[in-house]
Structure 1
Amino acid sequence: MVQAKKWSPRFDSPLHPQIADFNASISFDIALIEYDITGSQAHAKMLAKTGIISADEGEQLVSGLEQIRQEYRSGTFKPGIDAEDVHFAVERRLTEIVGDVGKKLHTARSRNDQVGTDTRLYLREQIGQIRNLIRDFQGVLLEIAEVHVETLIPGYTHLQRAQPISLAHHLLAYFQMLKRDWERLGDVLKRVNISPLGCGALAGTTFAIDRHYSAELLGFADIYANSLDGVSDRDFVVEFLAAASLIMVHLSRLAEEVIFWSAEEFRFVRLQDSCATGSSIMPQKKNPDVPELVRGKTGRVFGHLQAMLVVMKGLPLAYNKDLQEDKEGLFDTVKTVQACLQAMTILFHEGIEFCPQRLQQAVAEDFSNATDVADYLANKGVPFREAYNLVGQVVQTSLAAGKLLKDLTIVEWKNIHPAFEEDIYQAISPRQVVAARNSYGGTGFNQVREALQKARDFLQTAD
C-alpha cells in the first residue's frame, strides 16, 4: 500500500493510503515508459531550441533520460506503486541523475498532453506491428489457396449446402477481409499520428514553444489545432478498438469454420498435434483449442470497445481522470489481437490439413448443383423462374426416390423437359459447376487464379 505524501504545499494532508493505491496507474502505464522517455527527449530538445532552457541543460536532460531507458531495459530501474504513474517515476529518477536540471523538464508541459503523446507513440508502433501480422497471416492463407485452386468445398448459405466452390476462393474471402483490416488500421493511423504535445493542461502555455518542432522530432504528421481537443481526444483509441473488433470478427468467423470442418460430421480438415489438445477422460479426442480460444477472446475485445465508448460519452472538456481508463483495455486489446493473429497464422501454417478426398465426396453427395440445372434450361430458352420451379419439383421427387440429380437417366431428364440432352451430366458435375462461374469475383478457376495474382501483388506492394 502506498505511503502517500502530500500532493503539494497546497494540501494540508496526504491521500488516504487506499485512495493513493486506487489513484495510482503505475502498475499498467509502466508499459508506456519508453514512449514517455522518447517524448520527453523531444520536449527537452524543443525547450533548448527555443531558448527556454540552455543547450547544456537540454543535453543533460536528453542524456539522463537515455540512461533511464537503459536502466529500465536492464531491469535496474523498477518503479513501484509509490511512483503513482510512469511520468512521475521517470521525472523523479531523472532528477536523481542530473539534479535540479531534471526539475526543468516539465516546463511548458502538463501530464495531460504528456500522456496523450505517450499513448499515441505507443499505438502508432503497435498498429505497425499488427499490420505486419495481418500480412503474415494473409501470406499463409495465400500459400494454401495456391495449392487448392481446383479443390472443391461445399459452399453454404444459412449453414445449408448451397453451391460448390473452390477452396481457394473460400480462403481468399478471408484474405479480402484481412485486406480491409490492414487498410482500416492504416486509416486509423492517420488520426493516431497527430501530436498533442504542447497543448498543456487544456489551454496551451505562456512559453514560446515550437510544437511543430517537437512533433517533427517524434515523427508526427501534424499537431492538434485546438488545445482542449488535444488533451481530451480519445477518438483514435475508440477507432482503433473498433478496427480491432472487426479484426476479431473476421478471425472468429474463420475460427468457427475450422471448428465445424474438424468435427467428425464434416471431416474437411485434420487437426495436427502441434495445435490441438486432448480430453482428460476421452482418449480418442482432438480438440480445436486454437480456434475456440480465438472465438472466445473476441468478446473481450468487444468489451473494451464498449467500455471506452461509455467512458467517453459523458466527459465534459477537457481532461478528466476517467481517461486513465483508456489504457488497460487498449493494452489488452493490442496483446489479444496480436496473439490471435499469431496463433491463427501458426494454425493454418502447420496445425490443420485439408482433406481433398473427403471434400470431393462432400460436393458430390448433395443437390448443390440444382441451380445449374435451372441455368441449363434457361440457356435453352426456358424462362428462369419456370426452370427454377421445375427443378424444385425434380429435387423433391429425387429425394423421395433416394436419388441425386446425377443419378437420373437421360429418359428421366427428357420426361422432365425435352430440352435436356446428354450434356446435362457434364453441366451438373461439381467441377464444371465451379468452373462455369467465371463472372468477375466468382469461384470459377480462371477468376480464382486472377484473384491469386492480385493477392500476391498486394502483399508485394502494400506498405
Structure 2
Amino acid sequence: MEKSSKLWGDEGRFSCGLNSDLSQLNNSLQVDKRLYREDICGSLAYAEVLCDAEIISSDEFKTIKEGLNIVLDDWNSHKIQLRDNDEDIHSVNERRLIEIVGDVGRKLHTGRSRNDQVVLDMKLWMKKSVIEIVEDIKCLIKVFIRKAEDKIKVIMPGYTHLQRAQPVRFSHWLLAHGFFLESDCDRLKQLLERVDVMPLGSGALAGNPFKINRDKLAKLLGFSKITNNSMNAVSDRDFVGNLMKNVSDLIFLNTNIFQVEFNFIATLISTHLSRLSEDLILFNTKEFNFIKLSGEFATGSSLMPQKFNPDCLELVRGLTGGILGQLTNILVTLKGLPFTYNKDLQSDKQSMFFVFDNIKLSLKVISGVVESMEILDENCWNALSYDMLATDVAYYLVRKGVAFRDAHHSASKLVDYASQHCIELCKLPLPVMKTINEKFIDDVHDIWSFTKSVEQYQATGGTSMESVRNQIAYLKDYVERGN
C-alpha cells in the first residue's frame, strides 16, 4: 500500500493509503503532462481573478505568478521532477508551486476543481491544435494545386466501380480530393467556434462561490464566450467529438461534445486521406502505372529484390481504423455516464492526443508523397480507350434532337456491335451506325477525340480546361484566406 499526500487528502477515511494497483490505474500523468503549458496558463489567469475578488492579496498574486513561471520554466527546460504520488498534471504543478512559494500556493485552488480545470486545459490545447491541423491541410491543398497546374493537360480514365468510365483530366481527379479537404477545414473552423467557450469558474459542478469575474477570465485566456451552466461545463467532452451546431443545443452534455466532434472530424479527414491513398496505391501498380512514387516514400522486400512497396500509403490507410476506433471509444464512454463528472473521462485525453498526432503525421506524409511523385503522362493517355466515349455518342445524338433515353439505347447497341465484331468503337463504318440510328452522319467522327470529350464539360465543376483552372483559382483563394 502506498501512503502519500493527495489533492483530495490522505487522512481520516483515506489514512490507510491508496491500493498500489488503483494508484497505477488512477494515474494519468504520463498522458496529461502534455497539457502542462495550458494548465499553468489557466492557473495564472485564475490567480489574477482571485486577486481581483480579494481572495488573495496583490503580493500573494505576484508571488504565485512568479512561482508558476518558474514551474513553466522547469517543464520547458526538462528540469521538472515527477514523483510517485503525483496523480496528474494538476497535482504536479500545484505541488511544485507550493515547493517554490510555500503555503501561499495552497490558495490558488480556492473555488476551483480539477473538473473545470481539465476541461479548460483540453480546450486551450485543442484551440491551438485545431489551428495547426487546418494549416497542415491547407499546405496539402497547396501541393494539390501545384500538381494540378503542372499536369493540367494530362488526360486519364475516370472510374466508377473501378471500371473505366469517362476521360477526365488528371488535375480534375486530384482536385476532387482537395475539395474533400476544404470541407474538412471548414468543419474544423466551425469546431473552433464551439471550443471557444471558457469553462473555468464552474467548480466541481455547482459553480464558483467567490464572485470571480469569469468574463475577464475568458478574456485573459483568449476565449470569446463563457459557459452558461456549470454542470454542462464540467461534463463536456463533445468537443473531442460531437456533431452539434450550437453550444447551447445541449445544456448538460457539452463538456465532452468538443472532444467527440474533434474525433469525428478527424475520422472524416483520415477517411479522405485513406481514399486518396487507395487511389495512389492502385495508380502506382504496374497494372495502372499512372504514377511513380519517390524512393523516400517506398520500401523494399526482405525477400523479393524487385519490390517497390507503397508502405507509406498503406500505413496512412491503416491508421483510419485506429482513429475511427477512438471516436467509437469516446462515444461509448459517454453514452451511459450520469451527470456530471465521472472518472471514465480520464481516458479522453489519450484519445485526443492519439488522433491529433496521427492526423498530423498522415497529412505530412501525404503531402510528401504527392509533392514528390512522378506523373507518367504517356501511360495516363495510353490507358484511354474509345469505348469510354460511348456517352459522347449518346450526347452526339441528343444534339441531333434525339431524346436522351433513345440516344443512350442507340449508343449501347453500337457498343454491343463493336464488341461482338471485335472492332474499336471509333472504327465502326458509318453505314453500320446509320442502321442503328439514322441521325448519324459524317460529323460523328469528330467525337473520337479525348481532348474534345473533356472540353465539352464546361459547366462549373466539370473537367474542361477552363473549369479545372477555375477550381484551382478557387482553392488558391481558399488557402490564402486568413480565416
Alpha-carbon distance between aligned partners in 1 of 2:296 and 2:386, rounded to the nearest angstrom: 34
Alpha-carbon distance between aligned partners in 1 of 2:428 and 2:4, rounded to the nearest angstrom: 86
1:121 aligns with 2:141: no
Counterpart pick for 1:333 among 336, 339, 355 = 355
Alpha-carbon distance between aligned partners in 1 of 2:81 and 2:283, rounded to the nearest angstrom: 48
Summarize the Cα distance change of 1:366–1:426 in structure 2 as closer, same or farther, 3 Å threshold: closer
1:458 aligns with 2:478: yes
Counterpart pick for 2:450 among 414, 430, 439 = 430
For residues 316-395 of structure 1, what are the structure 2 equivalents within 5 Å? 316-350=338-372, 352-363=373-384, 365-395=385-415
TM-score (norm 2): 0.93
Counterpart pick for 1:179 among 178, 182, 187 = 182
1:407 aligns with 2:414: no
Match of 2:10 in 1: 8
Contact 1:2–1:18 (CA under 8 A) maintained in structure 2 = no
Alpha-carbon distance between aligned partners in 2 of 1:221 and 1:192, rounded to the nearest angstrom: 10
SS of the residue aligned with 1:154? strand
TM-score (norm 1): 0.97
Where does structure 1 lack aligned partners over 5 or more consecutive residues?
none
For residues 28-427 of structure 1, what are the structure 2 equivalents within 5 Å? 28-233=31-236, 234-350=256-372, 352-363=373-384, 365-427=385-447
Per-residue displacement from partner, 1:215-238 (whole Å, max 9, x unpaired)?
A: 110001111100000100110000
Summarize the Cα distance change of 1:300–1:80 in structure 2 as closer, same or farther, 3 Å threshold: farther
Per-residue displacement from partner, 1:286-323 (whole Å, max 9, x unpaired)?
A: 10111101100001110000000011111111111111
Aligned AA (1:442): G
Summarize the Cα distance change of 1:152–1:3 in structure 2 as closer, same or farther, 3 Å threshold: farther
Aligned AA (2:375): F
> Which has the larger displacement, 406-415 or 427-436?
406-415
Per-residue displacement from partner, 1:330-388 (whole Å, max 9, x unpaired)?
A: 110000100000110111111x211110000111x251110000110111122221121
Alpha-carbon distance between aligned partners in 1 of 2:190 and 2:20, rounded to the nearest angstrom: 44
Match of 1:439 in 2: 459
Alpha-carbon distance between aligned partners in 2 of 1:34 and 1:125, rounded to the nearest angstrom: 12
> Which has the larger displacement, 190-199 or 396-405?
396-405
Summarize the Cα distance change of 1:30–1:2 in structure 2 as closer, same or farther, 3 Å threshold: farther
Instruction: Figure out how many residues of one structure are paired with residues of the other and give that number.
Output: 461
Contact 2:319–2:358 (CA under 8 A) maintained in structure 1 = yes
Contact 2:157–2:164 (CA under 8 A) maintained in structure 1 = yes
Q: Indicate the RMSD between aligned Cα atoms, in angstroms.
A: 1.4
Percent identity for Structure 1 against Structure 2:
40
Deviation at 1:423, TM superposition (A): 2.6
SS of the residue aligned with 2:292? strand
Contact 1:4–1:20 (CA under 8 A) maintained in structure 2 = no
Aligned AA (2:11): P
Contact 2:53–2:210 (CA under 8 A) maintained in structure 1 = no
Alpha-carbon distance between aligned partners in 1 of 2:127 and 2:424, rounded to the nearest angstrom: 56
> Which has the larger displacement, 254-263 or 384-393?
384-393
Alpha-carbon distance between aligned partners in 2 of 1:205 and 1:358, rounded to the nearest angstrom: 68
